Structure formats: structure tokens, C-alpha cells
Amino acid sequence: MKRFSIILIIILLLSSCTVDFYAKVRPPDYKNTTWIAKECNMYFYVDQNSQCLGKMELDETIYNIELYFRMGKTVAILNTEKIIDKNRIKNFEILFNADCKFSEQKFIISFEGRRLNDNIPLNLKKITFIRTDGEIIPDWAK
């Protein structure tokens, strides 16, 4: 019985390494939605393929962005104008990485303790996105 318990614990530990506890709660899980930031000019749209594309304005420069959600609770925000070939990971510019908190209506990214790209003047500690249904483009991004 003791051996069985130890084997069961080992199996559970090994299987938990591949379990993504944040699946089905990230923005890409909500297709055909727009997420608009409250603190700055930034938004993204989740299309039918769960791709998250949008725009971000920093110091009067507007960047076309893609949000890449990693397993767990982190996101990388990429400058899509710098992506040369989507099949070759090394050919893109990461604007910044951030930690995330997810809910059905809100998505919060936090930069606490994160190193940002030196070219990005971001003076925020967090950005809160609010979900809306459908594709909505804010006036500043048109």
C-alpha cells in the first residue's frame, strides 16, 4: 500500500508539470472580443484563430502588436512590424514581458520586477484591460 501511494504521488507530480492551470481563462479563449486598456492607449482583438493583434501608443509612436500568451501566467508583447518570419522565433522584437492575472471580464498585466525593452518608455506598473464583445477599434488607433 505504501508503494502504491508513493507511485501515485510521483505520477501526480509528473503530470502536474504539463497541466496548464490557466487554460480557458486567458483572453485568447474568448474569440471575437476586444480588450481595451484603461491606463494607456492599448488594445487588442482576439480573432477566430485565437490570435491577439492590436495597437499600442507610446510617446506618440503607434506600434502594431501581437500578444503571445505563454503556458502559465505570463505574456510577451511583440512588435509585429519586426516579425520577419513567424516560423523563426528569433526574428521578432519583444516590446515587453509581463505577469498576468485573468478573469472573464478583466486581464491585468504587471511589470513589477520585470526588465522592459530599453526602447520602450513605459512608466506604468500595471495595465488593466476590459473585455468587450466584437471587434472595436478605439478612436486613437484609427
pLDDT tens-digit readout, 78-131: 888 765 555 554 456 788 888 899 988 999 998 776 655 555 556 778 899 999
Q: pTM of the predicted model, to two decimals?
A: 0.77
Residue 9 lies in a domain: no
Residue 27 lies in a domain: yes
DSSP letter for each residue of 39-96: SSSEEEEE-TT--EEEEEEETTEEEEEEEEEPSSSEEEEEEGGG-S-TT-TTSSEEEE
Q: Which domain holds residue 34?
A: 21-141
Q: How many domains does the chain have?
A: 1
